[in-house]
Structure 1
């Protein structure tokens, strides 16, 4: 199995498969009502919709880097504004997350095997995730997706508990 196949399989598994740690990203997100997506529990830094837009933004940034662009903050911002709660808007965010990851998987599958070990063009900046090679870039995004899907699951659980009280 090539590295491109391995990384695209790992990403697909985290997004929609049966990862060993529990529910996939999409399984978690598809359980979220639009009301819950826009609600921010007291003490929370972000709501679920903000986290989803953040995941989309960083997936787009990773695609830009895979396409040879210099690293930076995502063009839509690190934490894009979600705006007023709206059911259709929430469904669009979920679909956008799926679409951007389909596009990234296509880039991964076509990425030249000999370039995976090459460093991206920028010096190491831990906050921006720069100064790594292409394999580390994709592995980091996979970890980013897992991390934020855990946050989403916890926020949804908190919101469910609040409504039961």
Structure 2
């Protein structure tokens, strides 16, 4: 199995498959009401909508890096403000997360195998390769999906 195939498979498993640790990102997100998405439980810094915007922004940033752009914060910002509760906007936030990950999956499948070990432009330190970027983003998705699940449980009991 090539690295592209391995990373693609890992991403798909985390997003919509049956990862060994529990529910996939989409199964968690699809169970969130728009009311819960905008609620911020006491002691929470972010709400669910804001976390998903953060995940989307970092997915876009990793794709920009894979396109040879210098590493930076996401164009949308690290933690975009989701604004006031809005059911249609919530649907768009979820669809945007899914669309950007379809695009990422395509990037991974078409990324040249010989480039996975190349250093990411604008990143200092050893080991900052394209493979590490994508692996890190997959871990990022896992982390924040667990955070979303916990926030939803706090909101809905």
Task: List alignment gaps of at least 5 residues for structure 1.
Answer: none
Task: List alignment gaps of at least 5 residues for structure 2.
Answer: none
Q: TM-score, normalised by structure 2?
A: 0.97
**Counterparts in 2 of 1:37-116, with a 5 A limit?**
37-116=37-116
What corresponds to 1:33 in structure 2?
Answer: 33
CA distance in structure 1 between the partners assigned to 2:121 and 2:151 by the alignment: 36
Q: Does 1:137 align with 2:139?
A: no
Question: 1:108: how far off?
Answer: 0.5
CA distance in structure 2 between the partners assigned to 1:117 and 1:79 by the alignment: 29
1:7-65 CA-partner distances (Å, limit 9, x unpaired):
01100100000000000000000000000000000110100000000000000000000
What corresponds to 1:118 in structure 2?
Answer: 118
Question: 1:131: how far off?
Answer: 6.2
CA distance in structure 2 between the partners assigned to 1:31 and 1:44 by the alignment: 20
1:120-146 CA-partner distances (Å, limit 9, x unpaired):
122337xxxx96101000000000000
Given that 1:122 and 1:131 are in contact with CA atoms closer than 8 Å, whether structure 2 keeps it comes out as no
Q: TM-score, normalised by structure 1?
A: 0.93
Give secondary structure in 2 for the equivalent of 1:80: coil
1:77-134 CA-partner distances (Å, limit 9, x unpaired):
0001111101111011000000000001101100000010111122337xxxx96101
CA distance in structure 1 between the partners assigned to 2:156 and 2:124 by the alignment: 40
CA distance in structure 2 between the partners assigned to 1:104 and 1:147 by the alignment: 18
Query: Number of aligned pairs?
Result: 157
